Structure 1
């Protein structure tokens, strides 16, 4: 399935339900507890998955655990208003965060990651004109990093295809995240059965909630280097 780059989250929701094998209404934040000043895309994500747990014990309380594996989507009670914007997401070590405009369903996404290398006078810059696009890239990244089996892999996509008996399907292509827009897309995701493949800043990751080697082609494994990240 290929997620659509449009102003909707329905295909992302369908993917999450299929990937995790089910859904319960308790995974979402009650609508009357979601701040009405949030852009529609964020309201929709919180209503669907703002309390989605994964059974772990080492996460921020009341936050959607499936969305705090690498970077962290704030729970609604942690949202931080600053003048006309609200901070809703932060990097895993707190080095940068992201904001959107309040009372604007068409808000772009602002980020201050560039301050790590750029002495700009502008603290936050626009990194994505579409909040829907940004959220799909973010959510899929967190799904990969949340997999029970996680590997890095050396090589290009055609080498990785050798690992699978079936063709790899495109899931989300040319995803923009927190880098300046002019630097181009940074994330692409593929799906092959119960394995997710993520290209992130030029590096490839494989993730699955099943025993990964059992899903791979032994002939391909002999010619490609996999490094297990977890379980370690």
Structure 2
């Protein structure tokens, strides 16, 4: 999985499998429709990620399965900035990532969110960047996270199997006159995703029981906003945010209703043909 960087379809398939492993089964209504995408100027890899997960609900404030640390912009919020199609922003808006408005696998650029800031090359492959970005968000979107220096050696000492998954791929690092830094991902026992030998995320239950020195038991279960429900009344959230969230829920449930209605008609026609 994720071995051949020239196999773009294989990379996309690998990310789809890992995302479902971490966040659950993908409903057919969780992506932007092919009809919408066909009428939009976008490079092929962006059409893939939005068709796969452009409407995938999550527990993040931005209501995207790929928006826990940095943020995949909603499909309706995409914009062109100085010739680049901006599709990812840093969680505090410090920088943005853009690509070309078309192509099979165009390059990717990053720029600070300041007037006059230049676009700086981040990588030559949009697909490779999306793999890195998705894995980055999966780590931070996992149910439980920890940060322990040299955590891979700690896992090895405990008899775990460590598998390299995605090695030395560039990600944003706008410090010391650099635009990028390489980051790597490893899988541990197929259930723990490690980034840069420090950050680790997992969706397994009670990881602190197996690894008490690596995971700390929370004082209470983490409160996670369910993507299919309104915000709880006791959460201090502005009304305009609540309104936007409810509007998203209406749209999401309408998409599900349309999907199931289409399936009803399809199966009804199959019965008619059997008579």
> What TM-score results when the alignment is normalised by the length of structure 2?
0.68
- Could you list the runs of 5+ residues in structure 2 that have no partner in the other structure? 224-275
Mapped partners of 1:170, 1:32: distance in 2: 37
1:19 aligns with 2:14: no
Greater fraction of residues in helix: 2
Change (3 A) 1:11 1:4: farther
1:36 aligns with 2:40: yes
Change (3 A) 1:90 1:162: same
1:166 aligns with 2:160: yes
Match of 2:248 in 1: none
Partner of 1:206, secondary structure, is strand
* Displacement after TM superposition at 1:83 (Å): 4.8
Q: Which runs of 4+ in 1 moved over 4 A?
A: 182-185, 225-232
Deviations 1:156-186 (A, max 9, x none): 63234224x3311111111211248x87752
Change (3 A) 1:3 1:231: farther
Larger Rg: 2
Deviations 1:136-168 (A, max 9, x none): 0000010110111111102363234224x3311
Higher relative contact order (CA 8 A, sep 6+): 1
* Displacement after TM superposition at 1:36 (Å): 2.8
Deviations 1:23-67 (A, max 9, x none): 21111111122353111001011001111112x2x523xx5x211
Mapped partners of 1:132, 1:95: distance in 2: 23
Determine if contact 2:122/2:180 at 8 Å carries over to the other structure: no
Deviations 1:75-125 (A, max 9, x none): 110001235321111000000001111123332101014x89xxxx76111
Count of matched residue pairs: 213
Partner of 2:41, secondary structure, is coil
Greater fraction of residues in strand: 1
> What TM-score results when the alignment is normalised by the length of structure 1?
0.79
Partner of 2:105, secondary structure, is coil
Mapped partners of 1:26, 1:197: distance in 2: 30
